[in-house]
Amino acid sequence: MDVLIHVFVALHIIGIASLLGGFLTQLRAMGDGTARFTPAMLHGALTMLVTGAVLVGLNQADDQTVNNIKIGVKLALLVVILGLVYVKRDDEKVEKGLFALVGGLTTVNIFIAVLWT
Ligand code: HEM
């Protein structure tokens, strides 16, 4: 079971790489107000949702305690991220503030994941 959990943590991290990496490649464009939500960001956000839900299930099946408040906060932030990226996925340009919000919330979720023990 431990190996399976670690495999899903690795997939979860690949999801972060895709979401945050997609954001970072658009930083210069964000400054010019011409950034767009790339497919990598949408697929990364979806990967986070699926692997996160699987991780909750695997940890519970393994009788490990899951911090429901922490997971709830992470889920709530991801729902906002995913909603924005999904709704605006075909927009050629996304406003600076909205684009920055997605990168900011992703970063906040990373700190919540590692600092909230
Ligand atoms: C942008 C959104 C998210 C980010 C950046 C993120 C980040 C992370 C990171 C860095 C870890 C590894 C932390 C560690 O093992 O110490 C982790 C673990 C985990 N994540 Fe996420 N996560 C996100 C969304 C979610 C969602 C939506 C769920 C659940 C529905 C979730 C559930 C979990 C679980 C269960 C673990 C393993 C146990 C734990 O360390 O809390 N994550 N996440």
- The Cα angle at residue 76 between residues 72 and 81, in degrees rounded to 5: 145
Structure tokens at 45: 């956000």
If one residue of 46, 48, 85 were mutated to test the ligand 1 pocket, choosing by the most ligand atoms within 8 A of its CB, it would be 48
C-alpha 38 to ligand 1 mean position (Å): 22
C-alpha 56 to ligand 1 mean position (Å): 9
If one residue of 47, 74, 77, 81 were mutated to test the ligand 1 pocket, choosing by the most ligand atoms within 8 A of its CB, it would be 74
pLDDT in tens, the chain (117 residues): 899 999 999 999 999 999 999 999 999 999 999 999 999 999 999 999 999 999 999 999 999 999 999 999 999 999 999 999 999 999 999 999 999 999 999 999 999 999 998
pLDDT of the residue at 1: 87
* Closest residue by Cα to residue 78 from 51, 57, 96, 117: 51
Q: Does 52 contact ligand 1 (Cβ within 6 A)?
A: yes
pTM above 0.85, yes or no: yes
Q: Does 78 contact ligand 1 (Cβ within 6 A)?
A: yes
pLDDT of the residue at 101: 98
Residue 89 main-chain phi, psi, to 5 deg: -65, -25
